[in-house]
Each structure stands twice: as structure tokens, then as C-alpha cells.
């Protein structure tokens, strides 16, 4: 069965009677005229659809907690929608934690994750009543117990492990292999447990957590991860008589950035996960644990598009034709960071025309600011609108003010209506935190 993460475009995308691209019932040219560019657009129907795919895919396993990986996209509006759809949240900073809190999220359904949480962030997590803290290392065990004692609280935790699984994805988004900055090595689990039992009495462990990577296309890695989890739970029970009844398997399911990409559906990975769990529970003689799953990219990426306005162009003699947009690496750093690929279409071409091969260049003062290499598009002119698909994840969340450029606006579209959910930064916003000492005046 297909799922929404396998779509290249938002599921409401179509050409309207004017020949323009329409998303969520909104003509992209009208959106550009109203809001300007660059413009992040989130299609609410697509966002809710993929949430419901996940819920349906895992409906036969009654111990399932859906947790959205907030690092993919963290705004109050999108957090409110995900909360409405029954999702909890994986957060990795005080900022993400505070955003979901202000969005009205039930904080008991939040897991705080990360490899170097600060004293202030951990204190905030306890004050807000975060449901689980995924402890990443020995330093954090000691620090969290210290904070918990000071607040006279017992903290519910998971132990994050590096399960030793490598996915065939970019090295910067591999997180589960042994040579990783994240989590306890499997050989360190016993030491961590003994410290909790004997020293850190304000920490209450419930289970294990791992994340094996991102933009995953192979389902077998989930099978391998599940077996490692269940084997460790059985071993810990036998050695310490300690019952771990929760496993957090992370997220990582891929999406369709280009026509060549073929990610598994949510239904495929659900079958792999549930079948593997059934097999491993039987093999190691454990009870069925509660599962946390933390999809991020596969929840929000497909719902997002970014609209740009075409500016200058350059034909290199006997070489490439470069066409520049009014955005680039500050609103989408992924191509320059790890060679991410995207598909794009012209939003306002009203007739079929011959195609030409162009390279879409960003506006920033870096030679590596190339958004899309060698894409075939109709002939582009100044003022045309370029619609880049699958930009809902890790575009806004990784955006910067490089070259002192303002971050784009974000709107959500649904039923032919659009609403601002993140304001465009102004020039005054850019300098709002700057200060000139009196001695320099």
C-alpha cells in the first residue's frame, strides 16, 4: 500500500485553468504576489495525510507512541496540527521544547533527546514535566541526577545506545553506527545501569533508545535494530532483574526528493517492525514492549514547497547555463552541506514548451551555493516563479541569516485559503540583538 511520503509533490498539487501550479487550492502565483519570495508553503492536507498513514500503518500494535522529530520542522502551528493528529514530540533543545509547550502540547508526550544537553535545558525539561529524557552519556547521567535531586524529583529516562547499524545514506545523517557521537556503546550499558541502581537513585529507567539514520530506503535495518533492542532487554532482565518495557526506535524513513527516489511506504516499515518484534519477543522470551517511533522528514517533507523568483542568468561559453533565484543556501542549506537533490517546476508556464538544461544557482556569495544541478525546465525569464518540492523538512529548521539576509515567511494552505505561520524577518529583526558599546559611539 502506498503512503504520502512516496509522493514527489504535495498531494493537492495540480495545474489550474490558468496553467499555473496550485497547492492546497491556492495558485502559487497568487501566493507570491501576496507574500513575496522566497516563501515556504506547507500543505495542511498532505501533512495530516501522512500523520494518518502512520497511525493506520501501526494500528494493529496497541503499544505504539507516535513522536514527531521536531528538528525536521518546529513551529507552533505545525506542532499544534501534529498534536491534533495524536502525535507526541521528540525535541533536542530548549527551544524546541519551549515551542511545543507554547503550542499547547501535552508535555508528558515529549521525549527530550540530544548528546550535550545543558544544565538549563535539563532543568527546563523537569519544570515543564517532559515525559521522558533520553540520556546520551555518562556526563548527562550524573548531571540529570544532580538536577533531579535539587528539584526533589524522580526522572523517567531512556538510555540512548549506538546499536552498530550503518544505513546507506550520507555520512552526516548516519547516527546508529558505532563510530558516532550519539549514545552509549553496547559495551557501556552495564556500567550505566549499575550507576543508576547504585548511585543515581533519582533516575528511573524505562528502556532503550536508538536512531539509525535518516533518509532510509532499506527496511532490513529496522529488523536488525528491533532484534538488538529485544536481545538487550532480555539480557538486562536476566542480569539485573530490571524490566525495560519501552523501546524508542527513532525515525529515519526516506521521502521522494526526485523521480528516481523510491522510499518504502509507512505500511512497509510498520510490517517489518511489528513482524520483527513478534519474532524477537518469541526468540528471547520477553514481553511485548511499548514502542516509540520518531518520524520527522517523512512526516513534513512532502507537504512543503519553497517558491522563488527567477532573477539573473548566465551562459558559460561551451558550458553550463546558470539561472539565479532570490534564495539559496541560507533558506535551504542541504545541497551545499551534503549534496541533497531536489525536483522543481516552473509555477507559471501556461503551455507546453521545449525544455533546456539549467543549473539553479542561489544568490549567496559562495561558489557552492547551487540549489539544483542540471535540471530540465522550460526557458526561464526574470520574474518567473520556481516551485521546489519536498522542502518541508530541514529547510526552515536549518535556515540562517548568512550574508545578513532575512529568513523567509512561511504560510500554510488548505481549502483555497492561506495563513501566515511564520512572519518574514525584517531588516530591524536582523539587527534587533546587535549592540554598540558606548565607548564605540
Catalytic residues: 365
Give the span between the Cα atoms of 46 and 361, in whole angstroms: 28
Give the span between the Cα atoms of 8 and 415, in whole angstroms: 20
Q: What pLDDT score was predicted for residue 263?
A: 96
Give the span between the Cα atoms of 146 and 327, in whole angstroms: 46
Q: SS3 of 233, please?
A: helix
Give the span between the Cα atoms of 394 and 217, in whole angstroms: 18
Q: What pLDDT score was predicted for residue 175?
A: 43
Let me know: does 135 contact 160? Beta carbons within 8 Å. Answer: yes
Q: What pLDDT score was predicted for residue 40?
A: 98
Let me know: does 343 contact 8? Beta carbons within 8 Å. Answer: yes
Q: Which domains does the chain have, with CATH numbers?
A: 4-42+304-431 (2.40.37.10), 44-300 (3.20.20.10)
Q: What pLDDT score was predicted for residue 56?
A: 98
Question: Does the predicted TM-score (pTM) go above 0.85?
Answer: yes
Give the span between the Cα atoms of 173 and 362, in whole angstroms: 24
Residue of 292, 247, 255, 257 lying closest to 68 (CA atoms): 292
Per-residue pLDDT of the chain (441 residues; tens, 9 = 90+): 899 999 999 999 999 999 999 999 999 999 999 999 999 999 999 999 999 999 999 999 999 999 999 999 999 999 999 999 999 999 999 999 999 999 999 999 999 999 999 999 999 999 999 999 999 999 999 999 999 999 999 999 999 999 887 655 434 334 444 556 789 999 999 999 999 999 999 999 999 999 988 899 999 999 999 999 999 999 999 999 999 999 999 999 999 999 999 999 999 999 999 999 999 999 999 999 999 999 999 999 999 999 999 999 999 998 899 999 999 999 999 999 989 999 999 998 756 678 899 999 999 999 999 999 999 999 899 999 999 999 999 999 999 999 999 999 999 999 999 999 999 999 999 999 999 999 999
Amino acid at each position: 500500500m502506498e503512503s504520502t511520503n512516496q509522493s514527489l509533490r504535495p498531494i493537492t498539487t495540480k495545474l489550474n485553468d490558468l496553467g499555473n501550479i496550485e497547492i492546497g487550492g491556492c495558485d502559487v502565483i497568487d501566493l507570491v504576489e501576496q507574500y513575496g519570495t522566497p516563501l515556504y508553503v506547507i500543505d495542511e492536507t498532505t501533512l495530516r495525510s501522512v500523520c494518518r498513514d502512520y497511525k493506520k500503518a501501526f494500528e494493529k500494535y496497541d503499544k505504539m507512541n507516535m513522536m514527531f522529530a521536531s528538528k525536521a520542522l518546529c513551529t507552533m502551528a505545525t506542532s499544534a496540527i501534529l498534536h491534533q493528529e495524536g502525535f507526541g514530540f521528540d525535541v533536542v533543545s530548549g527551544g524546541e521544547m519551549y515551542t511545543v509547550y507554547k503550542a499547547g502540547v501535552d508535555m508528558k508526550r515529549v521525549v527530550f533527546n540530544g548528546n550535550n544537553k545543558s544544565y538549563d535545558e535539563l532543568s527546563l525539561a523537569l519544570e515543564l514535566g517532559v515525559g521522558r529524557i533520553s540520556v546520551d552519556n555518562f556526563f548527562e547521567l550524573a548531571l540529570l541526577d544532580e538536577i533531579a535531586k535539587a528539584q526533589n524529583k524522580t526522572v523517567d529516562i531512556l538510555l540512548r545506545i549506538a546499536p552498530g547499524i550503518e544505513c546507506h545514506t550520507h555520512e552526516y545523517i548516519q547516527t546508529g553506527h558505532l563510530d558516532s557521537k550519539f549514545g552509549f556503546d553496547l559495551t557501556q550499558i552495564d556500567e550505566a545501569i549499575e550507576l543508576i541502581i547504585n548511585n543515581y537513585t533519582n533516575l528511573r529507567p524505562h528502556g532503550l533508545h536508538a536512531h539509525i539514520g535518516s533518509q532510509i530506503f532499506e527496511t532490513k535495518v529496522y529488523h536488525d535494530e528491533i532484534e538488538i533492542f529485544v536481545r538487550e532487554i532480555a539480557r538486562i532482565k536476566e542480569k539485573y532483574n530490571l524490566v525495560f518495557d519501552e523501546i524508542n526506535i527513532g525515525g529515519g524513513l526516506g521521502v521522494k526528493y526526485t523521480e528516481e527516489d523510491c522510499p518504502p511506504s509507512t505500511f512497509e516499515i510498520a510490517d517489518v517492525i511489528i513482524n520483527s518484534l513478534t519474532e524477537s519477543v518469541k526468540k528471547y522470551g520477553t514481553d511485548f514492549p511499548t514502542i516509540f517511533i520518531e518520524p520527522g522528514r517523512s512526516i513534513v517533507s512532502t507537504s512543503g514547497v519553497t517558491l522563488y523568483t527567477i532573477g539573473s542568468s548566465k551562459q558559460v561559453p561551451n558550458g553550463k547555463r546558470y539561472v539565479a533565484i532570490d534564495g539559496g543556501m541560507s533558506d535551504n542549506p542541504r545541497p551545499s552541506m551534503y549534496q541533497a537533490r531536489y525536483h522543481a517546476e516552473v509555477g507559471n508556464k501556461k503551455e507546453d514548451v521545449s525544455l533546456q538544461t539549467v543549473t539553479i544557482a542561489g544568490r549567496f556569495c559562495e561558489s557552492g551555493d547551487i540549489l539544483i544541478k542540471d535540471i530540465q525546465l522550460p526557458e526561464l525569464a526574470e520574474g518567473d516563479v520556481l516551485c521546489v518540492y519536498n522542502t518541508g523538512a530541514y529547510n526552515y529548521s536549518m535556515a540562517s541569516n548568512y550574508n545578513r539576509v532575512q529568513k523567509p515567511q512561511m504560510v500554510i494552505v488548505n481549502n483555497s485559503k492561506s495563513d501566515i505561520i511564520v512572519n518574514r524577518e525584517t531588516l530591524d529583526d536582523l539587527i534587533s540583538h546587535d549592540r554598540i558599546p558606548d565607548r564605540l559611539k
